[in-house]
Structure 1
Amino acid sequence: MLTHRRRESLSNADFGWLRAKHHITVFDGGNPDHEPVGNLMVWNDDEIAVGGGFPFHGHQDMEIITYVRQGVLGHRDTLGSDGLIHAGDVQVMSAGTGIRHAEFNKGDVPLKLYQIWLQPRTVGGAPQWNTRQFPKADRSGRFVVLASGFPDDEGALPVRADARVLAATLKASEQIHHVLAPSHSAYLVVASGRVAVNGEPMNAYDGVAITHATNVEIVAFEDSELVMVDAG
């Protein structure tokens, strides 16, 4: 079953320096129909103004994946980590027993990113942070696993959740066939372009919750970029 969450139906917030759309409702008054999908608890589409950012704040018992779509993200945390994450690259933070971090727009254009939160399979554990580059050319015409809690997904950033984060780029008229385990759900976002998912037309910035389906057929109407969470 597909549940289309169109861009205009998403909850949103505007703080001046931060404009966000929420594929999953994160505050009272948001769209009540946009509930978590499996262990996917948060998917925020954030735009952070030049010079803006989140000051030091804390998290606990959550797997937080950041996918940078445009610009440069600066990260610092209480583990001593200090990094720059560029467009197309991914950062993973396992909050575990607790971590504090700050994140800022370190570029000269608005910073656009996805913040994806996964419920861990167990609570606790030492906090960890990691990042790596994922060239977009490597995911042309196919899904590439960016972060995963499954050991068979070699090359992916590790997370402590029964889930994986994937991305793909498609040229116009290209197709992808993706198989989900019978017990799994998924959430897919069209980062750019226009596609059909199992025949359902989707525009840029739309999302779709996929449940009780093992086969996902995606056809691109124009050059497109996709990000998906297989939510275990």
Structure 2
Amino acid sequence: MIEVIPFASLGRFDNEWLAARYHFSFANYRHRERDGLGPLLVWNDDTIQPGTGFPRHGHRDMEIITYVREGAITHEDHLGNVGRTEAGDVQVMSAGKGILHAEFNKEAEPARIFQIWIMPDAEGHKPRWETKAFPKGEAAGRLVVLASGREGDGDKGALAINQDAALLGATLPAGTTVTHAIGQGRQAYLVVARGTVRVNGTQVGERDGAVVSGESAIAIEAVGEAELLIADLP
């Protein structure tokens, strides 16, 4: 089953520097039918204005993945990590037993990001932060594992998370089809960052989400040039 979650139906928050859209219940937005999917609790679609961002604050026991769609984001934390993640690249922050961090857009243009929170497999992991540049043009037309806690995915260059889940991404030329196998008893959440795709024949538009359940595999066809992410979940 493919259940499309239209972008227009997402929860929303807007102020002078942040435009946030919530795929699942978050902060003051509550949707009784969208309280996450398995260990995936949060998928926020954020636009952050130049020179602004999230001042230092704390998290614990959460795997927080940030995918930058446009612009760049700069991270700093109490562990001494400082880094910049630009469009198409990914950062992972394992909050573990506790981390204090800030995220700012220090660029001249808005930053557009997906922020994804996944519940870890246990409490009290060691906190850490990593960022990685992923292949761009040479990876067009195939799925790339961006972050994962599944066995063997670290050998493919994926950033590590503490959960039996994976985040995959793809940029697809128009007319390209890629497939993704979904293990028995597993599910997935797909979000289109750019363009329009068909998932097992069901159309999913730009910034829409799609819940995938009861499918052994999905075939994703790019209607035009497209960019997408898939969270593969227990």
Fold conserved between structures, TM > 0.5 = yes
- Which is worse superposed, 47-56 or 33-42? 33-42
Any idea what the Cα deviations from partners look like across 1:111-145, whole Å, max 9, x if unmatched?
00010000101110210111110122243111100
Could you say what the CA RMSD is over the residues aligned between the two structures, in angstroms? 1.1
Alignment of 1:134-173 (within 5 A): 134-153=134-153, 154=155, 155-173=157-175
Q: 1:204 and 2:206 equivalent?
A: yes
The residue that corresponds to 1:218 in the other structure is 220
- Deviation of 1:227 (Å): 0.7
- Deviation of 1:47 (Å): 0.4
Aligned equivalents of 1:67, 1:27: Cα separation in 2: 20
Aligned equivalents of 1:25, 1:77: Cα separation in 2: 26
Alignment of 1:1-232 (within 5 A): 1-153=1-153, 154=155, 155-232=157-234
Moved over 3 A (4+): 27-31
Aligned equivalents of 1:114, 1:90: Cα separation in 2: 10
Alignment coverage as a number of residue pairs: 232
Aligned equivalents of 1:29, 1:168: Cα separation in 2: 30
Task: Give the TM-score, by structure 2 length.
Answer: 0.96
Aligned equivalents of 1:112, 1:28: Cα separation in 2: 21
Aligned equivalents of 1:29, 1:77: Cα separation in 2: 27
Give the 3-state SS of the residue equivalent to 1:8 in structure 2. Answer: helix
- The aligned amino acid for 1:149 is G
- Which is worse superposed, 136-145 or 78-87? 136-145
| Ranges in structure 2 where 5+ consecutive residues have no aligned partner | none
Identical counterparts, % of pairs: 46
- Deviation of 1:29 (Å): 4.3
Aligned equivalents of 1:125, 1:142: Cα separation in 2: 32
- Which is worse superposed, 133-142 or 88-97? 133-142
| Ranges in structure 1 where 5+ consecutive residues have no aligned partner | none
Task: Give the TM-score, by structure 1 length.
Answer: 0.97
- Deviation of 1:16 (Å): 1.6
- Deviation of 1:177 (Å): 1.2
